[in-house]
Amino acid sequence: MVAHFVFATSHLEGPARETQDLEAGMSNPVVGRFSALADEYLRFRPIAGLYCHSEYLGRKVREVDDFSWSGVDLQQVAGGTAYPQPQSPA
């Protein structure tokens, strides 16, 4: 989960909005599990990597006039990275 948050802040915010990333993280861990109403293979299984808060500290290095995501080259922003592919249940 932390890796996803850091990816989002450093890659999506940095080049598109011209910010310098200083620090990112997660705090206040949460204990979770699937309920009795979940699909049978998930029932009562723990869910790891849950956090209540995320933090980002960045420094704006230049002003961007009339910013719009439609004008952003997504290949430049994401750099060919992607979220991990879903895994089938064991």
Residue 48: helix, strand or coil by DSSP?
strand
Task: Determine the Cα–Cα distance for residues 62 and 3; give it in Å rounded to an integer.
Answer: 26
User: What is the arithmetic mean of pLDDT over 28-49?
Assistant: 94
Task: Determine the Cα–Cα distance for residues 60 and 19; give it in Å rounded to an integer.
Answer: 4
**CB of 50 closer than 8 Å to CB of 30:** yes
Task: Determine the Cα–Cα distance for residues 29 and 56; give it in Å rounded to an integer.
Answer: 17
User: Six-digit token pair at 79?
Assistant: 């750099």
Instruction: Band the pLDDT of 6: cuts 50, 70, 90.
Output: low
| pTM assigned to the model | 0.48
Residue 79 has pLDDT above 60, yes or no: yes
